[in-house]
Amino acid sequence: MQESYDHYFEEESLYQAISRFEDMIKSNTILYFDICEFEIIIDYYLDLHNYRVAEEAVQLGLSQHPNSTEIKFRLAEIYVQAGKPAKGLRLLKEIENVEAVSSEFYLLKGSALNLLGRKEETSAAFDLAINYSIENKDETIYNIALSYINTRRYKLAIKYLNLAHEVNPYNLAVIHEMALMCERIDDLNKSVEFYKKYLDIDPFNDNVWLSLGMVYSNLDNSEKAIDAYDFAIAIDPRNITALFSKANTLVNMGNNKEAIAAYIEILEIEPDNAQAYTYIGECYEKLEFYKRSVYYFNRAIEIDENFSDAWYGLGLAYFHQDLFAESQKYFAKANNLDPENSDYWFMLGEVHRKLGNLEKSAEAYNRVIELDPNDHEAWLCRAELSFKDNNDIKGAIRILSKAFEYNPDASVINYQLSVYYFINSQNKLALRHFEKGLSVNFYEHLEFFPEIPNKSVKTLSTLISRYKNLSNLGL
């Protein structure tokens, strides 16, 4: 009971101090605060990252209490948090003799030194922070880890997070940060392990279930991802991110009908969510229910006429119905809204080619390649446009030779370039690229083999047999 009263009075003191300080600022007057009140006020604004007001409170505090090391320490903290570690360190040196036995002092000193890249001094200061930390040692070590995370020294951060976890296995902040760090360094299985540890302690945290689902998605474990998203949604049925993640995972699994149901749940919560309408339209487009897809894309546009993906979706729906003039109009609209989107340019290239606008088609494919030189399909389509539509084999070879410079290990580029070299009777180059393709992806050659002139097929049989044997051996 006494603890409840103490907590109440602490909260009341916090509120009163901040309220008086803000009233003072509004009325442009000066009021007196004791040192403890200044500490409360400064800490409050530091937590909000409002360094300007925090520094105002410090300056007022020092004018009223010029010898207060507590307030000077807060000023050093402001400097360090605001990215001025050298100024913070100079101020800490002034008060070091008074504050030398404080864990908080050495934690702040270590953080300043860490930002300045003084590694050995940083380590020594952090060691002292841990040594002087009697209570809540795990929190001190956790804050050291955060300092190393801020300077991207992730191995050291993980070392201290592990130490903090050993000191207190139930510190949820440490467990959560460890899970995030494992994600960051791409140790996804370890990340799953820590998210599970977190949920063993706090099983009703919907955002942690959501994070676990995302890690499972990155591990291509869609079923476990869906289970995790379902737990998040069960805890908070209005968790929009979890609903979107579940629906998107279902789409990736090819379960478009189930995905539609999940997107509809989002619309029940947010009836004007243009993205959800667009995704439903995409699902119906994949299911080849084009009239329904057009309806949902139009609903998205009614909500947000500048939502480019909805215009693009309309273009796809009409394109798949061979209504190319309509399709081109919608692709152009999407492109005008987002001219840096390579997907929009690619489909403009496709639809212009269908309409016989070969020059515009070439321009569109060229723009895709400018935006994304690793887009293999755009290179192939641009080369095919030269070869099949313009009967320019040398032009096609020039294009794919350039593609090869950007994508030397892309099997499709090598195979198609080989085909063009065979057609142009440049057999040595053709064999070289065909072999390169076989070394990267053996079975993909079957897609390109029918394009090779009959007179050249025999020269490939030995080569294919050799790589087939290597492929069967798993080499």
* pTM (two decimals): 0.80
Q: What would the pLDDT profile of 346-391 be if each residue is shown by its tens digit?
A: 999 999 999 999 999 999 999 999 999 999 999 999 999 999 888 9
- The reply to whether 284 falls in a domain is no
Q: Which of 37, 65, 100 is the last residue of a domain?
A: 100
- The reply to whether 22 falls in a domain is yes
Q: Greater confidence, 95 or 183?
A: 183
| Mean per-residue pLDDT of the chain | 91
- The reply to whether 291 falls in a domain is no
Q: Which of 78, 100, 122 is the last residue of a domain?
A: 100
Give CA–CA dist 274/276, Å, rounded: 6
Q: What would the pLDDT profile of 387-443 be if each residue is shown by its tens digit?
A: 988 899 999 999 999 999 999 999 999 999 999 999 999 999 999 999 999 999 988
Domain that holds residue 57: 13-100
Q: What is the pLDDT of residue 100?
A: 57
Per-residue exposure over 390-412, b if at least 16 CB sit within 10 Å of its own CB, e if not: eeeeebbbebbbbbbeebeebbb
CATH number at residue 51: 1.25.40
Q: What is the pLDDT of residue 9?
A: 38
- The reply to whether 344 falls in a domain is no
Contact between residue 422 and residue 450 where contact means Cβ atoms under 8 Å apart = no
Q: Would you place residue 1 in the very low, low, confident or very high pLDDT band (cuts 50, 70, 90)?
A: very low
- The reply to whether 94 falls in a domain is yes
* Domain count within the chain: 2
Q: What would the pLDDT profile of 98-140 be if each residue is shown by its tens digit?
A: 755 689 899 999 999 999 999 999 999 999 999 999 888 999 9
- The reply to whether 77 falls in a domain is yes
Q: Greater confidence, 468 or 278?
A: 278
- The reply to whether 127 falls in a domain is no
Q: Would you place residue 471 in the very low, low, confident or very high pLDDT band (cuts 50, 70, 90)?
A: low
Q: What would the pLDDT profile of 23-34 be if each residue is shown by its tens digit?
A: 888 888 888 888
Q: Which of 100, 118, 142 is the last residue of a domain?
A: 100
- The reply to whether 32 falls in a domain is yes
Q: What would the pLDDT profile of 149-170 be if each residue is shown by its tens digit?
A: 999 999 999 999 999 999 999 9
Q: What is the pLDDT of residue 405?
A: 95
